[in-house]
Amino acid sequence: MSEKLNLPLRPRRNRKSESVRGLVRETVLTPADLIYPLFLHDEPQNDPIASMPGCHRWSLEGLVGEVGEAWNAGVRAVVFFPKIADFLKTPRGEECHNPDGLIPRAVRAVKSAYPGITVITDIALDPYNSDGHDGVVERMPDGDLKILNDETVAILCRQALCHAEAGADIVSPSDMMDGRVGEIRAALDEAGYEEVSILSYTAKYASAYYGPFRGALDSAPKAGDKKTYQMDPTNRREALREAELDVAEGADMIMVKPAGPYLDIIRTLRDAFDLPIAAYQVSGEYLMIKSAAKDGWIDEEKVAMESLIGIKRAGADMILTYFAKDIAGKLSK
């Protein structure tokens, strides 16, 4: 038996050096793909978030500083999540459209310091609502909770207008109420904000991976769960249906969330639609990497990078990730 195989086809030739691997590389991650989610509160200090190591609830000043660091690392888009004081939470979440509320102030502060950065705001009631739900809750006589769709959509429109007025570039409804994209689009256009984009959480699943986020904002539902509005993790065709509606209603970009456990959904929407697709690597995905890396079991940076490449390879054009600043910094070097 000769030692040489008669093997004209040798895929390894395309992997023989870093420069050849560079030539044939199919998926490239750049800082321009990343969206950095940031938490803030109306307090003077920056508090580390226990459930999300490396993340903080920023003061307004701290937020501007962190956005500056992210900008210097190459990040060009941020999204804000507020922790609202308990005394401001009400059943209808009126604080969500207070023009002097935390988010409008943050948008103004960040846009005036970094006019070139894209500011995205989250549209949903959960941080503002005393029931901790994304919509208005009605308590039925049998004790069941009903999340009121149409009443909620009207409030979300006011929230979107308030954020647009403050200077948000993109509003991003994460509430999963039916018909909200169309209503928000109409409200924005009517008020002259036709340049404000809508990034819709199109396929947002009722996921246990949101746990650390709810801890960060103290925004977990007080009773019940989110299964009557967020999608059942078992469903794929339903994501196509949600996407058809969001596209018809005028979404500019559509999102899949969580990202890592839903790569097939990203790919499904990529193949079926032309719109840009965002994927949200959520708090639980982040925390799993962080905790496994803490004791050196895995290499945090390499695993984070690989997880993001996987999400991009599945078809995402942009990724919301708590690793954004660190990874952008790495990629810019």
Catalytic residues: 204, 257
Among 210, 262, 273, 323, binds ligand PBG (CB under 6 A): 210
Is 205 an interacting residue with respect to ligand PBG (CB under 6 A)?
Answer: no
Write the interaction track for ligand PBG spanning residues 35-74; mark x where CB under 6 A is met and - where it is not: ----------------------------------------
Q: Tokens 């689009």 appear where?
A: 185
Which is closer to ligand PBG, CB of 191 or CB of 310?
310
Q: Tell me the three state secondary structure of residue 58.
A: strand
Contacting range for ligand PBG; rule: CB under 6 A; set: 6-14, 112-120, 121-129, 323-331: 121-129
By beta-carbon proximity to ligand PBG, the closer residue of 63 and 124 is 124
Contact 198, 273 (CB under 8 A): no
Does position 128 interact with ligand PBG (CB under 6 A)? The reply is no
Sole window of 89-97, 120-128, 159-167, 239-247 interacting with ligand PBG (rule: CB under 6 A): 120-128
For residue 249, report the phi and psi dihedrals to the nearest 5 degrees. Answer: -80, -10
d(CA 86, CA 94): 13
Residue with tokens 């097939």: 264
- By beta-carbon proximity to ligand PBG, the closer residue of 191 and 220 is 220
* Chain residues 269-298 in contact with ligand PBG, contact rule CB under 6 A: 282-283
Which part of the chain contacts ligand PBG (CB under 6 A), choosing from 60-68, 70-78, 113-121, 207-215?
207-215
Q: How far apart are CA 202 and CA 207, in angstroms?
A: 14
- Asked if residue 221 has a cis previous peptide bond (ω within 30° of 0), the answer is no
131 makes contact with ligand PBG (CB under 6 A) = no
Question: How many residues lie near ligand PBG (CB under 6 A)?
Answer: 11
What does residue 183 show for φ and ψ, rounded to 5 degrees? -70, -40
Task: Kindly give, in sequence order, each residue whose CB lies less than 8 Å from that of residue 240, ignoring residues fewer than 6 positions away.
Answer: 268, 269, 272
- Which of 33, 66, 131, 134 contacts ligand PBG by CB under 6 A? 134
Find the part of the chain contacting ligand PBG (CB under 6 A) among 6-14, 26-34, 85-93, 208-216.
208-216
Tokens 């207070």 label which residue?
A: 98
Query: Which of these ranges, 108-116, 209-217, 238-246, 324-332, lies near ligand PBG under the rule CB under 6 A?
Result: 209-217
Determine if 249 is a binding residue for ligand PBG (CB under 6 A): no
- In whole angstroms, the minimum distance from the beta carbon of 129 to ligand PBG comes to 10
Q: Min. distance of Cβ 319 from ligand PBG in angstroms?
A: 12
Residues listed for the chain: 333
Residue that has been written with the tokens 């994927």 in this structure: 279
Tokens describing residue 232: 């059942």
The CB-of-226 to ligand PBG minimum distance in angstroms stands at 6
Q: Among 122, 183, 300, 326, which residue sits at the site for ligand PBG (rule: CB under 6 A)?
A: 122
Q: Which residue is nearest to ligand PBG (CB)?
A: 213
Query: How far, in Å, CA of 323 to CA of 74, rounded?
Result: 13
Amino acid, single-letter form, for residue 105: R
In the three-class reduction of DSSP (H, G, I as helix; E, B as strand; rest coil), residue 260 is classed as helix
Cα–Cα distance, 276 to 318 (Å, whole number): 8
Q: Note the helical H segments in the chain.
A: 18-24, 60-73, 102-113, 149-166, 180-190, 211-217, 237-249, 263-272, 283-294, 300-314, 324-332
Q: Quick one: which of 77, 124, 251, 266 contacts ligand PBG (CB under 6 A)?
A: 124
Cα-Cα-Cα-Cα dihedral sign, residues 222, 227, 229, 230:
positive
Residues making contact with ligand PBG (CB under 6 A): 122, 124, 126, 134, 174, 210, 213-214, 226, 282-283
